[in-house]
Chain A
């Protein structure tokens, strides 16, 4: 039998059900794996003791014939989800030591289904970044290395960098992430795993530390499309505590996988052929088109004319919402306080010291574009452009059932690269942001390797609330790609 840490979530679930091993054994294997890859810095907080207790409880439930669909399966949680009695930091100094007295709805649903928490994963501070370099708790190392260059430490992507790296490194069966402009899909692509962002409103945002409220969505990071379908089925669902969570039934995503893509119309937007995109990314995209064609899908050339404006519009909308959301960190009720002689001085000192450079930059941009005299020129114009982006997709859905693009314009880059040029860093999300701006479900599936031997993902976007089709197309790509490459730095060795 394969090592317990090499199993997919589905295989582990079936193995537990068949009594081949216990959750305690499965969890111990993952705790040991976590220790083996600790140098990657995937976790802000490991919770092995809680994991052991949850695993024992899961085994006890199984003996009684009880237990939900994830009973006994060890997973990792992005440290943006509030977890009762367990420090939740958002990767920020300002929340260091914050221990929520409540549980986010998404994690509550995972625990109710029987999942076991291994720890809280590292992320860009307040989920603002594409490299995990902005975390107060240090960068995460990608378990993948460039062929013949073990010296260069690569980024795992971001913001869900720790969540992606630990799943790629076989330290967890699956993890949760959040995606505001690409924060699940880009790290999924960089780490050679599957990352799924559902439709805005599909998962409750309650208890997730907010970055940009009209864009934030939770989703899973897994090693297979099937695993992502299993995870999302548990994470999704209406929550009266989040007024933007949508009250529509959650389909059986797993059942959608096997139905094939025959007859589906797949759109290929010409505007996503970006200037300067490496030939290997173009090549992989073309390969994806061929795969889907061979599986019986019809390829349709489409146009999303406002694609190039999605990223600049995002960099007004997201910072504007962030500046408002992050106003709560004032040193009064929780988190860091840096004293001052007046409340005003205390706020300024606390926020000056508690926020890192990128968070400050975005809060300042957001404050500026919302300030008197500039609101119309920046924020209102960006929200109008956003309507245009939504209209582009709306027109596309008359011709196609899903859209295929690459996930990222490059493979993983080295730690420290792009750090002195915020816009170069922002450009990582150029292909993922349009779906975010329109609230659409989208998945990244590992599809091939770069010339340097690094994973590259293909990106499938679907209609609102049609995650099933996205999974179906993702699954077809997964089957055709047969991506079996593994990272150099993983538990148990390559």
Chain B
């Protein structure tokens, strides 16, 4: 599998990262190098091997489902680039 310019453009859109048109080609090269290198994983026989879902074997703990925090709108908004009347402000969503 090899990435071309169009695929990189598509991934960048999925990742919501602006990539300038002239940066796509070099980026495709870098990503292909990395993906080419990880191809060696196909050498490993993983027939019947489960995928790892938990790093260490432990008993998950449960906690009661109760509200124990909240009412901190001011703190939540304190780092917002733009806010108004206790809302985050974003560019217009609906035309």
Among candidates A330, A364, A383, A385, residue contacting B12 with C-beta atoms closer than 8 Å:
A364
- Prevailing SS type, chain B contact patch: loop
Would A101 and B75 count as touching, CB distance under 8 A? yes
Whether the Cβ atoms of A346 and B91 lie closer than 8 Å is yes
Bound-complex Cα distance A365 to B33 (A): 11
B31 lies within 8 A of A361 (CB): yes
With A and B bound together, what is the CA distance between A335 and B31 in angstroms?
Answer: 27
How close is B47's CB to chain A, nearest CB, in angstroms? 9
Asked if A378 CB lies within 8 Å of chain B CBs, one says: yes
Instruction: Find chain B residues with CB under 8 A from A387 CB.
Output: 46, 49-52
Interface string of A330-341 (1 = CB under 8 A from B): 111111110111
Q: A214 and B55 in contact (CB under 8 A), knowing A316-B41, A330-B16, A340-B91?
A: yes
B67 at the interface (CB under 8 A from A): no
CB pair B18–A388 under 8 Å, yes or no, is: no
Residues from chain A with a CB closer than 8 A to the CB of B37 are 312, 315, 423
For residue B84, CB closer than 8 A to chain A, the reply is: no
Residues from chain B with Cβ under 8 Å of A247 in the complex: 58-59, 61
In the complex, the chain B residue whose C-beta lies closest to that of A337 is B81
Please classify how large the interface on chain A is, using the bins under 10, 10 to 19, 20 to 34, 35 or more: 35 or more
Residues in A neighbouring B19, C-beta threshold 8 A: 352, 360
Q: In the assembly, what is the distance between CA of A353 and CA of B16, in Å?
A: 11
A364 and B17 within 8 A (CB): yes
Q: Mark B10-37, 1 if CB is under 8 A from A, else 0.
A: 0111111111000000010011011101
Inter-chain CA distance A347–B30, complex, in Å, is 24
Q: A364-B8, A364-B12 are in contact. Are A384 and B49 (CB under 8 A)?
A: yes
Residues on A with beta carbons closer than 8 Å to the beta carbon of B72: 101
Min CB gap B14→A, angstroms: 5
Contact B16 A348 (CB under 8 A): yes
Q: Chain A residues near B38 (CB, 8 Å)?
A: 312-313, 315-316, 378, 382
Q: Contacts A351-B17, A364-B8 given; indicate if A200 touches B55 (C-beta within 8 A).
A: yes
Cα distance, A323 to B8, chains bound together (Å)? 15
List, sorted by A's number, 9 A–B pairs whose CB atoms are closer than 8 Å.
A316-B41, A331-B81, A339-B91, A352-B18, A368-B7, A371-B11, A381-B46, A384-B51, A464-B57
Residues of chain A touching chain B, judged by Cβ–Cβ distance below 8 Å, are 97-101, 199-201, 214-215, 238, 240, 243, 246-248, 306, 308-309, 312-313, 315-316, 323, 327, 330-337, 339-349, 351-353, 355, 360-361, 363-365, 367-368, 371, 374, 377-378, 380-388, 390, 422-423, 438-439, 464-465
